[in-house]
Amino acid sequence: MQPTLNFKIEGGKELHGEIVVNSSKNGAVALLCASLINHGTTTLEHMPKIEEVYRIIEVLESIGVKVTWNNTSITITPPKEFSLDAIDRVAAEKTRSIIMFTGALVHTLPAFKLPQAGGCKLGSRTVRPHLYALENFGIDIATTDHDWEVSHRGLHASEVLMYESGDTATNNAILAAAGIEEESVIKYASANYQVQELCFFLQKLGVAIDGIGTTTLRIRGKSVINQDVSYAVTEDPTDAMFFLAAAIVTNSSIVIKRCPIDFIELELLKLAKMGFSYTILDRYKGDGGNVNLVDIETHRSDLVASPEKLYGRPYPGLNIDNLPFFAVIATQAEGTTLIHDWAYEKRALYFTELDKLGATTLLADPHRIFITGKTPLHAADLTCPPALRPATILLIAMLAAPGTSTLRNIYSINRGYEGLAAKLSSLGASVEMVEGR
């Protein structure tokens, strides 16, 4: 039996100092998948060293792609021909992002198979939005128990109405359109940060895209993309939200640098209405000039429950990936907060794990949970849920809980966060990564 990695936390410590937001997990994996559309060399800078990225790279290498690390940058060199016969199924089945290979590979392979996507265990996450989007371009997809069988007899431009404004489904449609010279239109597209990231990257490859940041994209692609390109992965709003939540729950004043403000400003407004106090210290552009960044100083605050229910929406709504952080924040707010996590059947169920740390929750149904605060948190020995955001909120609660806590099997956290123990320790927390079984 292989050893697992655990976090050992001595909680109840106030945080101090400053931290820099990491580059985006979801943006990074989208760009890795998108590199398959380029016959030239792709260099991706500020690549996060996280498990999700490692899994995608393992799959890329298994189909003939050469990937070279140079500190925090990677260079991706495609083969003359892709071969999916020896695809790394184990790595592929651990990440849902593999599904985005589809929109890129259709431009070089008329038929291929991909392993069924994995990733977070969050109930029934349908692939139909991908099927319905890609069929508009002439792509036929059959799903089996283990594979995603893709074929086409020629691609054509199209007007696509997204069945669901999902991030990966929109990215798949964008990648399909990017290799077709005629204009395609994608309506009800996701406008989230990772979709914008992909669009900016494709623009550097010569793909014409209008409407970035809106729900209607007009894309005029290129039948052959062969260009050496360098692109810097932008900052992760969910990483910024993690440290905001950690500061709030531990009632600490810290500085969080390089926060992508356009993708957390609604979260900050909701938090301000709950009594959270903060100061924006500086505003500036990120690398490439496409993203607005700020430095935020958090202040010790007395919170009250949200006066309205909290729920996620496609951008520009409250980010669905940021919604779980409000669950742990609500444990330290006076009154009862209703969180409606409509997007996933099982994620709200994971929030009840906070009870084992002293929270008071009431699960109304698989999507709605009432959290009553303010409650003192206490140490506990828990196993990570098999989902990234629910796992991180347990860690945050443990930071605020006096005593020794253990969070076991932290792979789900390492999928999306780099060097978290060291970063938290730099803020004065006591977090140690240890091996266990």
The confidence score (pLDDT) of residue 436 equals: 80
Q: How far apart are alpha carbons 208 and 194 in whole angstroms?
A: 18
Q: For 84-100, what is each residue's pLDDT tens digit?
A: 999 999 999 888 899 99
Q: What secondary structure does DSSP assign to 55-117, as a single string?
A: HHHHHHHHTT-EEEEETTEEEEE--SS---TT--HHHHTT-GGGGGHHHHHTTT-SEEEEEPP
The confidence score (pLDDT) of residue 346 equals: 81
List the Cα angle 166/200/323 in 5-degree steps.
35
Cβ burial 139-157 (10 Å sphere, 16+ → b, else e): bebeeeeeebebebeebeb
The answer to whether 6 touches 409, Cβ cutoff 8 Å, is: yes
Q: Which of 244, 233, 161 is nearest to 193 (CA)?
A: 233
| All domains in the chain, ordered by first residue | 4-22+235-436 (3.65.10.10), 25-232 (3.65.10.10)
Q: For 379-427, what is each residue's pLDDT tens digit?
A: 999 999 988 999 999 999 999 999 999 999 999 999 999 999 999 999 9
**One-letter amino acid for residue 409 of the chain:** N
The confidence score (pLDDT) of residue 122 equals: 39
Residues of the chain with pLDDT under 70: 1-2, 117-126, 437
The confidence score (pLDDT) of residue 2 equals: 64
The confidence score (pLDDT) of residue 3 equals: 75
Q: How far apart are alpha carbons 291 and 285 in whole angstroms?
A: 6
Query: Which residues lie closer than 8 Å to 309 by C-beta, 6 or more apart?
Result: 338, 339, 340
Long-range contacts of 293-297 (CB under 8 A, 24+ apart): 293/235, 293/258, 293/259, 293/260, 293/261, 294/259, 294/261, 295/255, 295/256, 295/257, 295/258, 295/259, 296/240, 296/244, 296/255, 296/256, 296/259, 296/268, 297/253, 297/254, 297/255, 297/256
The residue whose two tokens read 């959290």 is 371
Helices (H) and strands (E) in the chain, counts: 14, 24
The answer to whether 280 touches 44, Cβ cutoff 8 Å, is: no
Q: For 117-173, what is each residue's pLDDT tens digit?
A: 654 443 445 688 999 999 999 999 998 888 989 999 999 999 999 999 999 999 999
Q: Which of 278, 270, 273 is nearest to 252 (CA)?
A: 278
User: Please, where are the H alpha helices in 296-419?
Assistant: 323-330, 347-351, 388-400, 411-414
Angle formed by the axes of helices 388-400 and 237-249, nearest 10°: 30
